[in-house]
Chain A
Amino acid sequence: MTTTTHENLLNQVLDYTNRADPYPIYARMREHPVLVQDDGRYIISTYAEVRACLQDPRFSSDLQKGYSQADQRIVDEPVQVSFITMDPPKHDWLRHQVMMHFTPELINGLRPRIEEVASALLDAHEQRARLDIVDDFAYPLPVIIICELLGVPREDVVLFRTWVDQLLLAVDPGQAANKEVVQQAKSARAELRQYMGRLIDKFQQTPGPGLISAMLHDTTQEKHMTKDELIATSLLLLIAGHVTTVNLIANSMLTLLRYPEHYERLRREPSIVANLVEEVLRYEPPVQFIRRTTLTEVPIAGVTIPQGAPVYPMLASGNRDPLRFDDPDRFDPDRPDIEHLGFGQGIHYCVGAPLARLETQVALLELARRLQEPRLVEDPPPYRESAFLRGPLHLLVSQSVARNHGKH
């Protein structure tokens, strides 16, 4: 099934004017489970097909194995990539190096610290009539936590924040054709690699706290990561460990503000928070789609995807598929079937999912505890540029200051 240019649904999703509500476009995509766009990109938009694709070994995460017509990849030089864009067996080995340290004990042990940071962030704003949930809370919280988890000095956030933004801009398929963006991203990536390399050198001399030093000094393995592999892996954890969680927290709060009955319920029944977060992962996932390529011809839902094609499994679309979810456009934390695609499926299932859940659950509980009758100042709020890592750029909320229940 081919489409003409003005019907290129993927480009419509990428178009910033649709950032606040891409869901009607996803619905149109779902009329055909697999669609080829006029630029040769394939989109998979229905739940069953997205899920099948994510677990099918014929689909590769190694984008170098594919051709690209519409995408300019920023990876032209042989730069070490992280395991998120690798296939087995290398992917499995690298992911395992991380998972050996990313244990339930480690993550659950962070809870008190996450609570402490969340509370302190809101302390700073409790006398104010307005706050920006993103800048004042949803961004700093995961950044602080991931830095502590990894052993990255917190004062360096100010240093790498810009580089991360520049790098991510080029990852977004909407921007990837923009030569200036691509160039800036390359130099940002070089800066980040240098930064991480120096940090690793420091840890090599003197072991420090955090996961990076732990992976560096791990003596239990026969084989070790090379320095380049450790740099790539550490950068992946640093970046993925906060840019997505910011959006999960912000998307959750936005949804609760739009459905104040659920916000009120969270205040009465804190135990509902886990259900809420899972439903947001379905309803407004922070990662809206991902990217694959085919290792061979793949017939799927009546379409044959050629080898090496750029393929976009649309996670957020699958999550709203009426063939899978009853009343999919209804935000319902009590729905019994919550088998969503928000963290993916298969071997690349989000490594950080347990941390993201924990941070978001703590964040929402703290917000609900502290903000009485918050109101959205602007709906829709201004969104980030990215259609891929989608969330509000700012989430302005007004609160009644007169009766606050914060700590002093």
Chain B
Amino acid sequence: MRIVVDLNRCQSYGQCCFAAPDVFHFHNAEALEYDPAPGEARRWDVLRAAKACPVQAIQIGLDDEEEEGLQGEKTHDWSYQ
């Protein structure tokens, strides 16, 4: 699973850090850092964290985005002049 936290919305209440401590933590006083790809084993912790967020800043992505076939080929090492 993949997640995104809107860090503009986040106000550092830290409820997510309690619900899913392996995924969310504060760096220093209140800068949220999180694992955007927490792994299936953490799914329920992450869902609880999303529910507990007082500003609903946590968004949970679709499953199986690999189906989108996003592995683009590196065709060349292009660079702008």
Contacts and interface: CB of A to CB of B under 8 A. Distances in A.
B10 interface: no
Given A339-B54, A343-B54, A349 B21 contact: no
Given A339-B56, A354-B15, A105 B51 contact: no
A287 to B, nearest CB: 14
Contacts of B54: 339, 343, 345, 349
Contacts of B21: 104-105, 108
Interface stretch (A80-88, A173-181, A271-279): A271-279
A51 to B, nearest CB: 10
A275 B48 CA distance: 8
A112 to B, nearest CB: 16
B26 to A, nearest CB: 10
Contacts, number: 38
Contacts of B55: 339
B17 A274 contact: no
A278 B21 CA distance: 19
B43 to A, nearest CB: 9
A104 B54 CA distance: 17
A271 B19 CA distance: 14
B56 A337 contact: yes
Contacts of A238: none
* Interface of A (DSSP majority class): helix
Contacts of B52: 274, 278, 353-354, 357
Interface string A247-283: 0000000000000000000000001001100100000
A274 B51 contact: yes
Nearest to A275: B51
Contact of A107 (B18, B47, B56): B18
B10 to A, nearest CB: 13
A338 B56 contact: yes
A300 to B, nearest CB: 21
Nearest to A338: B51
Interface of A: 104-105, 107-108, 271, 274-275, 278, 337-339, 343, 345, 349, 353-354, 357-358
